Copies of this chain bind each other. A is one copy, B any other.
Amino acid sequence: MVEVSFEQISPADFFYRNRDIAGFSNPSRSLYTSIRELVENSLDAAEIGRIPPNIIIELSVEGQAESEGTAIYRLRVEDNGIGVDKEYIPKAFATVLFGSKYGYKQNRGTFGLGGTMALLYGQITTNKPATVISSRGGKEIHKFVLMIDIVKNEPRIFKHEVFKNEKKWRGTIIEFYLEADYTGSKAKIIEYLKHTAIANPHASLLFIDPKGRMYYFPRVTDKVPDPPKESLPHPVGVDVEAMNRLLANSKQKDMLSFLVSNFQRVGEKTAREVLQLAGIPEDANPKKLTHDQVTSLIDAIKRYNKFRAPDPSSVSPIGEELLSIGIKNMLQPEFVYVVQRPPSSYSGFPFVVEVGIAYGGNIPVTEGIQLYRFANKIPLLYDERADVVWKVVNERIDWSNYKVPRVSPVALVTHICSPKIPYKSVGKEAIADRPEIERELVIAIREAARQLKLYLSKIEKKQTAIKKLNIYAKYLPIIATCAGKLVDKKPPDITKLLGRLGIDEKTLKETQEKILKELEEKYLVTEEAE
């Protein structure tokens, strides 16, 4: 008989064994992911306190590693966020799946994983502890030197120092060592910071790279966006588990007030109708519902199709204006058009899709559409082809309908925001093709593409007109002058005639000046040549 032994492993151990799934697959990607996770924690820590974020990222070489192309780096990220209470610091940074309490609102992190994974990766590649310094702005600054006990999923504290906080400093500094490849990840890191700055114009980001080069993305506005509100769950999409947890914690004594108090979009009338559908008395005690009653309640909620759409106040879109400004800064396009869709929902979670289409300018001429994907105001730079946006752009939209040639300078910027982004992996790089999200993307992109089509038609018309004009502008005025001389009159006004040909005075002047300049250049060149 084959003997099989079983064991239970800690979540830290699980992610240690499977770090590819969290985006730590090689020294180059791991550096990118580490910076990304820490910057996002910092943004959240500032935003929650309505503080305009100042984030300083410093990367320096500490020693040559033995594998090809990699070295040991020191990574230090400092922010001015709300800081972490001293009793939580070790666990928050050295325990996997320990994080700030889960709320029903938009935030950047997957629950309590990213920052700790960065430290864990550093620890297993360098065997060095990490340093965390934090203050909430009170009298003390706390400094911890720690490692992660991976088997136990617990912090191992090497040192804890307390400093007087004389300058009332507030924020968090994380410093650790990791085996990394900066050459292989530099382009992505800079792109990440640039795009993060665009989606977060209230943030100031400074990156000092190992050669001492500074990349500074100053804030464009001091206006910190309203932080997304924490809201009650919407009944649609609440599953048995979530319902059981709400029931167990109910402060209400009867089901009617339980439903009204614990869900959004549920008034007394709705609550009554749902309970009737479920066959549950209105005065039933929420803590004493039977297993079958819970099942009936969930079924009734699914059958009841009169709920209003989820409250979008828990999402925080970029907004048409900022998105448009961002795209202009990023790509200097000739043309840009932005669409913000009204809030929609999937599985009870509200979400908003924003899309910007841009043409020409600094956009490279390539086959297919250049994609710039954002989710909850963070750029997604890897695994593009696994993302729902790629699917929509390449499989659902026929770009020839919109006069977009196969090879052209077209960029599409998409932003999806939601209290719960359905990422396909812990690395948070690709969004799943939930049908509701796919649908909103299709609508938004089509609307934007129609505007691009109009613009492209105008360009085409104008180009045809300019071609004509090159001929008319040369000869018409001469003909007019000569004709005038023949009959001994002032030359006739040909503006109207040109107007009918689709040429306005401004364009006429420009074209004439251009022709003049061309002649001059020709002449000058000839003179010099002689």
Contacts and interface: CB of A to CB of B under 8 A. Distances in A.
Interface stretch (A92-100, A317-325, A455-463): A92-100
Contacts of A48: 2, 4
Interface string A109-133: 0111100000000011111100000
Given A20-B423, A386-B386, A426-B426, A2 B49 contact: yes
Contacts of A124: 239-241
B5 A101 contact: yes
B101 A26 contact: no
A95 B11 CA distance: 12
Nearest to A386: B386
A18 interface: yes
B426 A21 contact: yes
Given A21-B424, A66-B299, A66-B303, A8 B97 contact: yes
Contacts of A136: 1
Nearest to A390: B385
A65 interface: yes
Given A2-B82, A11-B11, A100-B6, A125 B239 contact: yes
A434 B26 contact: yes
A366 interface: no
A342 interface: no
Contact of A101 (B6, B127, B291): B6
A435 B184 CA distance: 13
Contacts of A127: 240, 291, 294-295, 298
Contact of A4 (B2, B5, B101, B291): B101
B8 A95 contact: yes
A17 to B, nearest CB: 6
A226 interface: no
A297 to B, nearest CB: 10
Nearest to A82: B2
A14 B102 CA distance: 11
A14 B11 contact: yes
A302 interface: yes
A136 B97 CA distance: 36
A25 B422 contact: yes
A327 B245 CA distance: 51
A495 interface: no
A91 B298 CA distance: 27
A24 to B, nearest CB: 10
A183 to B, nearest CB: 14
A425 B4 contact: no
A181 to B, nearest CB: 11
A432 B65 CA distance: 23
A383 B424 contact: yes
Contacts of A426: 18, 21, 425-426
A527 interface: no
A159 to B, nearest CB: 14
Interface string A294-308: 110011001100000
A111 B241 CA distance: 24
A355 interface: no
A9 interface: yes
Nearest to A138: B1
A508 B240 CA distance: 74
Interface in A327-374: none
A385 B393 CA distance: 15
Contacts of A17: 102, 111
A12 to B, nearest CB: 10
A95 to B, nearest CB: 7
Nearest to A51: B2
Contacts of A294: 127
A113 B111 CA distance: 18
B430 A386 contact: yes
A7 B98 contact: yes
19 contacts: A2-B48, A6-B100, A7-B102, A17-B102, A18-B423, A21-B21, A21-B426, A25-B424, A26-B434, A67-B302, A123-B240, A123-B241, A125-B240, A126-B240, A128-B295, A150-B241, A151-B245, A425-B425, A426-B426
Interface of A: 1-2, 4-11, 13-14, 16-18, 20-21, 25-26, 48-49, 65-67, 82, 84-85, 88, 91-92, 95, 97-102, 110-113, 123-128, 136-137, 150-151, 239-241, 245, 291, 294-295, 298-299, 302-303, 383, 385-386, 390, 422-427, 430, 432, 434-435
